[in-house]
Amino acid sequence: MDLEAGTDDYGADQVIYSLAAAAEARDPYTEAHAQRVGQSARRIGARMGLSPGQQETLYRGGIIHDIGKIGIPDAILLKPGELDFEEQIKMHLHPVIGESIVAPLKSSADLRPMIRHHHERYDGTGYPDRLASDEIPLLARIVSVCDAYDALINDRPYRERLSQDEAFVILQSGAGRQWDPQIVKLVVDEARREAALVETSID
Ligand SMILES: [Fe+2]
């Protein structure tokens, strides 16, 4: 692909979604994960009163936040056990790789913070830039919690899915350390509300 920096317009979104699909296709465990992260991030944005434009940006960012995993070898990406130290270092490059993949697309400007910063931690010990609390872009903080919650309640190569209540406990114990506590509260509330709606429709 030979894109001239900053000159794309029509079709740039299609390029981004194609890249996201390519990233997902390599890892059956993440099938539909990115789509769900996009949808829940958009819902949380709506609950926070963000503009429709920002909600849409959250949806797109949720879908492509892990695009940099394209650059991670299968042996690491699909490893059934825990990653060793060197493998972790390589895996931790995926936000930066992802940012560089979409950087030539002018329309990706508002997505880049979510791609680069979705593994920062609220206490400032995350990566790649060790940003803390409000230094972490708001949309990246939202994607981070939605990403973690969806990963917890679905099977991964290294563990089986957790129950919703088990996932809530993990999110709440990481509130203020790994994640923005206000966003954790919203994600838990939203998941409880949806579960109640499903139960009502089954009754
Ligand atoms: Fe990631």
CA 57 to ligand 1 centroid distance, Å: 17
d(C-alpha 84, C-alpha 164), whole Å: 29
**What values do phi and psi take at 122, rounded to 5?**
-60, -30
Please report the pLDDT score of residue 142 as a whole number. Answer: 98
Average pLDDT over residues 155-163: 82
Instruction: Evaluate whether residue 163 is within a structural domain.
Output: yes
Could you tell me if 191 and 164 are in contact, meaning their C-beta atoms sit under 8 angstroms apart?
Answer: yes
Could you tell me if 8 and 106 are in contact, meaning their C-beta atoms sit under 8 angstroms apart?
Answer: yes
**What values do phi and psi take at 48, rounded to 5?**
-85, 0
Please report the pLDDT score of residue 2 as a whole number. Answer: 43
- What CATH number does the domain containing 148 carry? 1.10.3210.10
At residue 138, the 3 state secondary structure works out as: helix
Instruction: Evaluate whether residue 88 is within a structural domain.
Output: yes
Q: 138 or 24: which carries more pLDDT confidence?
A: 138
CA 108 to ligand 1 centroid distance, Å: 17
pLDDT one-digit tens code per residue, 4-47: 444 455 577 777 778 777 777 777 666 688 889 999 999 999 99
What does pTM read for this prediction? 0.89
Q: Confidence band (pLDDT; 50, 70, 90) for 116?
A: very high
Instruction: Evaluate whether residue 4 is within a structural domain.
Output: no
90 as an active site residue: the answer is no
Residue 104: is its pLDDT beyond 70?
A: yes
Range of the domain at 40: 12-202
Say how many domains are in the chain. Answer: 1
At residue 48, the 3 state secondary structure works out as: coil
Please report the pLDDT score of residue 112 as a whole number. Answer: 96
d(C-alpha 4, C-alpha 6), whole Å: 6
Amino acid letter for position 91: M
Instruction: Evaluate whether residue 171 is within a structural domain.
Output: yes
Instruction: Evaluate whether residue 6 is within a structural domain.
Output: no
Amino acid letter for position 42: R
The tokens for 72 are 């991670």
d(C-alpha 56, C-alpha 28), whole Å: 26
CA 87 to ligand 1 centroid distance, Å: 14
The tokens for 33 are 């994960």
Could you tell me if 54 and 139 are in contact, meaning their C-beta atoms sit under 8 angstroms apart?
Answer: yes
At residue 153, the 3 state secondary structure works out as: coil
Report the Cα–Cα distance between both ends of the chain, in Å, rounded.
52
CA 198 to ligand 1 centroid distance, Å: 29
Q: Which residues contact 157 (CB under 8 A, 6 or more apart)?
A: 29, 78, 79, 80
Instruction: Evaluate whether residue 2 is within a structural domain.
Output: no
Instruction: Evaluate whether residue 7 is within a structural domain.
Output: no
Please report the pLDDT score of residue 202 as a whole number. Answer: 65
Instruction: Collect residues with CB below 5 Å from ion ligand 1.
Output: 66
